[in-house]
Amino acid sequence: MGCRERAAKSDLLRIVMNKDECVPDHRGTLPGRGAYVHPALHCLDLAVRRRAFSRAFKVQGALDTAALRLHVERTAPQ
Q: Could you read off the pLDDT of 5-30 as tens digits, one per residue?
A: 999 989 999 999 988 888 999 888 99
The mean predicted confidence, pLDDT, of the chain is 89
Report CA 78 to chain centroid distance, whole Å.
19
Cβ within 8 Å of residue 26, ≥6 positions away: none
Per-residue confidence (pLDDT) for residue 62, from 0 to 100: 80
Residue 15, H or E segment: strand 13-18
pLDDT the model gives residue 77: 66
> CA distances (Å), 61 to each of 11, 18, 51, 52, 69, in order?
28, 15, 9, 11, 18
Which domains does the chain show, CATH number per domain?
9-75 (3.30.1230.10)
Residues 61-74 have a mean pLDDT of: 88
Name the band, by pLDDT with cuts 50, 70 and 90, for residue 61: confident
pTM of the model: 0.84
